[in-house]
């Protein structure tokens, strides 16, 4: 069965500092991996996705993620966080290249940004 | 484009009553819609997949008689929580796609509280 683990429930980071959110997955087939952000009262917004090719993928809002097959990981990074990055972040895996279809989500990581 | 709207954003209902949640695709025809549930401090779990004009496919462990899903048009799917109880209190979120393996976009979610 597929599963996604986000080990960090909360992360607090200072504005301007770098951010890394961890994600590990277990999936029997070719994994299609996604990162979403959820701001309070908002729906999930797709940050980036990976299914093949270059293992370092760039997304919106200055985020990037690196796929490491040997570690079954897909960690999200941002070099310098802004106060507006405070939100909850979800890693997800799905059976299709297209985002949002039949996803299995991790538990989420809530990011707090200190001024 | 690709805007998905849920209504209501939040609802409080009495135990034993039923509540309907709407998911609308505002600017595209959604052949396929997905319904997810998020319990407090837990991840989003896929409840069911609905295709326009067909019966919904429920994930294991989801009671289809309790969570009635109707996808009668290409722009609207509804989730009705029947005879709601406090344990049904959760955050319900939908995603919608044009089908054919295309990207599904998320609504903003509905927070249901059963008292």
pLDDT at position A98 is: 74
Query: Which residue of chain A comes nearest to B5, CA vs CA?
Result: A43
Query: Which residue of chain B comes nearest to A98, CA vs CA?
Result: B103
Query: CB distance from A100 to chain B under 8 Å?
Result: yes
Q: A36-46 pLDDT, tens per residue? A: 999 887 788 99
pLDDT (mean) for B43-53:
89
CA distance B85 to chain A (A): 23
Q: Which of these, B85, B91, B94, lies nearest to B32 by C-alpha position?
A: B94
What's the rounded Cα separation, in Å, for the pair B74 and B31?
Answer: 6
pLDDT at position B56 is: 93
Inter-chain touch B103–A4, beta carbons under 8 Å: no
Residue B53 pLDDT grade (very low, low, confident, very high; cuts 50, 70, 90)? confident
Whether the CB-CB separation of B4 and B107 falls below 8 Å is answered with yes
* Peptide bond connecting B8 to the previous residue in cis, omega within 30 degrees of 0: yes
In this complex, the residue of B42, B97, B109 whose CB is nearest that of residue A100 is B97
Q: What percent of chain A has pLDDT over 70?
A: 100
Q: A70-110 pLDDT, tens per residue? A: 999 999 999 999 999 999 999 999 887 777 778 889 999 99
Whole-number Cα distances in Å, A30 to A7, A22, A102, B72: 22, 20, 14, 33
Query: CB distance from A91 to chain B under 8 Å?
Result: no
pLDDT (mean) for A10-28:
95
pLDDT (mean) for A54-74:
94
Inter-chain touch A36–B108, beta carbons under 8 Å: no
Q: What is the mean pLDDT of chain A?
A: 91
Query: CB distance from A43 to chain B under 8 Å?
Result: yes
pLDDT at position A10 is: 95
pLDDT at position B52 is: 87
Q: B14-38 pLDDT, tens per residue? A: 999 999 999 999 999 999 999 999 8
Inter-chain touch B101–A46, beta carbons under 8 Å: no
pLDDT at position A21 is: 98
Q: Which of these, A23, A31, A40, A19, lies nearest to A113 by C-alpha position?
A: A19
Whether the CB-CB separation of B109 and B7 falls below 8 Å is answered with no
pLDDT at position B1 is: 63
Q: Spell out which residues of chain B touch residue A96, defining contact as CB-CB under 8 Å.
A: 101
DSSP state at residue A84: G
Inter-chain touch A100–B103, beta carbons under 8 Å: yes
């Amino acid at each position: 069965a597929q599963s996604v683990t986000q080990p960090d429930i909360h992360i607090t980071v200072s504005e301007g500092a770098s951010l890394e959110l961890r994600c590990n997955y277990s999936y029997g087939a070719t994994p299609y991996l996604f990162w979403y952000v959820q701001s309070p009262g908002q729906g999930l917004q797709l940050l980036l996705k990976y299914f093949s090719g270059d293992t370092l993928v760039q997304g919106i809002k200055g985020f990037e993620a690196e796929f490491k097959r040997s570690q079954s990981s897909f960690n999200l990074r941002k070099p310098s966080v802004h106060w507006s990055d405070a939100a909850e972040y979800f890693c997800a895996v799905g059976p299709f290249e297209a985002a949002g279809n039949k996803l299995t989500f991790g538990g989420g990581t809530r990011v707090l940004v200190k001024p | 484009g690709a805007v998905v709207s849920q209504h209501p954003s939040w609802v409080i209902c009495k135990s034993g009553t039923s509540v309907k949640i709407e998911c609308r695709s505002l600017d595209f025809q959604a052949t396929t819609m997905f319904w997810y549930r998020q319990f407090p401090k837990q991840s989003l779990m896929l409840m069911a997949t609905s295709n326009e004009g067909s019966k919904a496919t429920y994930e294991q462990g989801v009671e289809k008689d309790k969570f009635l899903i109707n996808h009668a048009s290409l722009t609207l799917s509804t989730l009705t929580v029947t005879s709601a109880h406090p344990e049904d209190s959760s955050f319900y979120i939908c995603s919608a796609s044009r089908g054919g393996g295309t990207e599904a976009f998320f609504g903003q979610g509905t927070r249901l509280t059963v008292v």
